[in-house]
């Protein structure tokens, strides 16, 4: 199975990278752009056949290594 | 509408960050981890009511600024 962990800064945490991207998109001629948030995505191949076990493992990985849960939130998706 | 642009290195392009994460997860006691790929996710608020127009705009942003299409591939999702 594959686990896809998406990590974004929590609401209220300043995101200068997102701000810079938003500004650059405006300058490139995309006036419809509003707030931009930049984050990370990590795709993990898991040698695991049970989706629930894969999710539990991926959440533990996110908590322990991938995300800084003080300032970041994460979401786990499990793909076939 | 919100556009979610996910950017990953193309298959065949070395991903040292992903390799390092995979190694760290092994060392932390997750032996079931196989290949790991690290990428970026960018969430863009769009002042746009038409989903097709939002997708076209987000794809243009990804091509022109967000992704390096020589080595990266991207995927656009449109959320309500």
Compute the nearest-CA separation of A58 from chain B (Å).
Answer: 9
Statement: residue A30 has pLDDT above 90:
yes
Q: What is the pLDDT of residue B80?
A: 76
Residue A50: helix, strand or coil by DSSP?
coil
Query: Rounded to whole angstroms, how far apart are CA atoms B40 and A57?
Result: 22
Once rounded to an integer, what is the mean pLDDT over residues A55-66? Answer: 97
Residues B66, B76 contacting (CB under 8 angstroms)? no
Q: In terms of C-beta density within 10 A (0-12 exposed, 13-18 middle, 19 or more buried), how is residue A3 classed?
A: buried
**Span B48-75, pLDDT tens digits:** 999 999 999 999 999 999 999 999 999 9
- DSSP conformation class of B10: P
Once rounded to an integer, what is the mean pLDDT over residues A59-72? Answer: 97
B65 interface with A at CB cutoff 8 Å: yes
Statement: residue A63 has pLDDT above 80:
yes
Q: What is the pLDDT of residue A50?
A: 95
Are residues A39 and B43, on separate chains, in Cβ contact within 8 Å?
A: yes
A65 interface with B at CB cutoff 8 Å: yes
20-49 in chain A: CB under 8 A from chain B: 21-22, 24-25, 28, 30, 32-48
**Span B1-52, pLDDT tens digits:** 999 999 999 999 999 999 999 999 999 999 999 999 999 999 999 999 999 9
Q: Which of B28, B38, B46 is facing A42, going by the closest CB pair?
A: B38
Query: Rounded to whole angstroms, how far apart are CA atoms A26 and B65?
Result: 11
Residues B47, B27 contacting (CB under 8 angstroms)? no
Q: What is the pLDDT of residue B16?
A: 97
Q: How confident is the model at residue A80 (pLDDT cuts 50, 70, 90)?
A: confident
A35 Cβ contact list (under 8 Å, min separation 6): A18, A22, B44, B45
Are residues B25 and A44, on separate chains, in Cβ contact within 8 Å?
A: yes
């Amino acid at each position: 199975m594959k686990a896809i962990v998406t990590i974004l800064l929590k609401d209220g945490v300043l995101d200068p990278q997102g701000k810079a991207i938003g500004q650059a998109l405006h300058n490139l001629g995309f006036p419809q752009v509003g707030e931009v948030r930049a984050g990370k995505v990590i795709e993990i191949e898991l040698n695991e056949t049970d989706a629930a076990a894969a999710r539990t493992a991926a959440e533990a990985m996110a908590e322990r290594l991938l995300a800084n849960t003080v300032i970041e939130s994460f979401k786990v998706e499990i793909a076939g």
